[in-house]
Structure 1
Amino acid sequence: MLTTFRRQRQLARVRPGDGSRLPEFRLWHVFTRTRFGLDLEDHRLDVDIRYGADPNTGHGVARLYRDGVQVARSRLPATFAVSGGVVEIAENEHGLKRVAHVGPDGTTRTLTPHPRTLEGRRAGFDRRFPTTSHALGIVAGLLVLACGAIELLHAAQAVTRRPEVAERVGTLVLPYTLSAGWLTVIGVVGALAAVERALTLRGRLVDRRR
């Protein structure tokens, strides 16, 4: 029921496209734009996503193209009604987490990233070097967990040092406290690892073994 309500709300904010042609994806677009596509029985769908393009909310904006012509647009997260179901696009703080065609029976097909996008380059690396890609995924997943745990423990220590908190729950004392500089480095490493995981759009920290 919650999924149905969310989908209806997202469908309600879809606006008609302007009929423009799908622009080419250039190398310098990789940090501001991404693109996914899917071939259906009688036509081609493309979703062009611009990060932070909505001036009012800062959300990304998705534009839906049918056979290269813009037919709809919406801010993220977005759901577009298309032939044979809907296209759902969801994001988190590290990037996209879902770009999929969902049929009436719940059948899901993830759209294919354009080969020049970061997602497409990550997918290409996975196809060419599957073993290395799997190892990279394991390392990135472990880094996300480790960096998150370190930052969470230091945040908890800082909170419990407040007198009003210490009186109620006591003070957490870590055996070793990292400097602000090291915590910044750990935060950056954790964020990069999370982005690597987000580029796979698989929704898990560690990929399943093939």
Structure 2
Amino acid sequence: MVKAWRRNRAIRRVKQGDGRPLQRFRWWQLPLGRALFHLRPSFDGRRPGAYAVDVRRPGGEATAHLYLDGRHHAQSKIPAVFPVEGGVIEVATSSFGIKRCHYVTTTGEEHQLVPDPKSREGRRARLERDHPTASRMVAATSVVMLVIGVGLNLPQIIGPIAQVPLIAENLGTFTSPIHLPLWLNITLGLGAALAGTERALRLRYHWLLDAGGN
């Protein structure tokens, strides 16, 4: 019920598009965080339409733009749910990038949209396609870095929180057995950020490992 309420709320945020043409992805847009995804032309022998989702972050606030047959069809703040032929397109982000861009049919089937080849997500997908072994090594390294970061930083975060009088009186105090130097904490933080970004390029998300999403 909560999921249905959130979906309906997101649908109500959708605004009608202005019909402008879809801009091609340019190389200089890579550092700007633009993401562009395309819906495969056919599912189960039916063509739901040539849809594209263009995600922009003007001023840090992510906005999703839906294009139909190359024309601006609708837009919405993220998380976004766009009603389309045969279902909806759901778009969500985390602090590291895109965590969801899927076409969900009325029967509940999910199909991830295909990233534009020139985008960051498209380049990461090409690495996975052309060099699968290297891709798996990078993916595994990302998970390890996030696990280490969570395992070492979580006790250090819980320690000060447990000193709050109200929490201490009800749950007791907790002293972290881990005390890392500042330089190591910074290094782990940078490593976790890189790992989270790498996972976002593959639209991978876990509530614990990739915490901090929108």
Give the TM bin, normalised by the shorter chain: 0.7 to 0.9
2:106 aligned with 1:100: no
Q: In terms of mean alpha carbon deviation, does 94-103 or 41-50 score higher? A: 41-50
Matched residue, 2:115: 113
**Structure 2 CA distance, aligned partners of 1:43 and 1:160?**
53
The aligned runs of 1:5-44 (5 Å cut-off) are 5-31=5-31, 32-38=33-39, 39-40=41-42, 41=47, 43-44=49-50
1:50 is matched with which residue?
A: 56
* CA separation of 1:147 and 1:18: change in aligned 2, threshold 3 A: same
- Structure 1 match to 2:195: 193
Confirm or deny: 8 A CA contact 2:158 2:176 kept in the other structure.
no
Q: Partner residue of 2:175?
A: 172
Inter-partner Cα distance in structure 2 for 1:71 and 1:164 = 51
Shift in CA distance, 173/69, structure 1 to aligned 2, threshold 3 Å: closer
2:176 and 2:63 mapped to 1: Cα distance? 45
CA distance in 2, matches of 1:88, 1:164: 40
1:93, CA displacement in angstroms?
2.0
CA contact (8 A) 1:151 1:187 kept: no
- Cα drift, residue 42 of structure 1: 6.2
Q: Deviations over 1:169-193 (max 9, x none)?
A: 345142x522222211211111111
Percent identity at matched positions?
34
194-203 vs 83-92, which moves further: 194-203
Amino acid at match of 1:7: R
| 1:84-99 matched pairs, under 5 angstroms | 84-99=86-101
Q: Please give the secondary structure, in 1, of the residue aligned with 2:121.
A: helix
TM-score, scaled relative to structure 2: 0.85
* Root-mean-square deviation over aligned CA pairs: 2.2
Deviations along 1:101-130, one digit per CA (max 9) or x if unpaired, are 110000111000001111111111000111
Q: Which amino acid aligns with 1:101?
A: Y
Residues 66, 163 of structure 1: CA spacing in aligned structure 2 closer, same or farther, 3 A cutoff?
closer
Q: Distance in 2 between matches of 1:183 and 1:126?
A: 31
Q: Give the conservation status (yes or no) of the 8 Å contact 1:141–1:193.
A: yes
Q: Which runs of 5+ in 1 are unaligned?
A: 206-210
**3-state DSSP of counterpart to 1:116:** coil
TM-score w.r.t. structure 1 length? 0.86
CA contact (8 A) 1:87 1:102 kept: yes
Q: Give the direction of change, closer, same or farther, for the CA distance of 1:164–1:87 in structure 2 (3 Å limit).
A: closer
Match of 2:69 in 1: 67
How many residue pairs end up in the alignment? 200
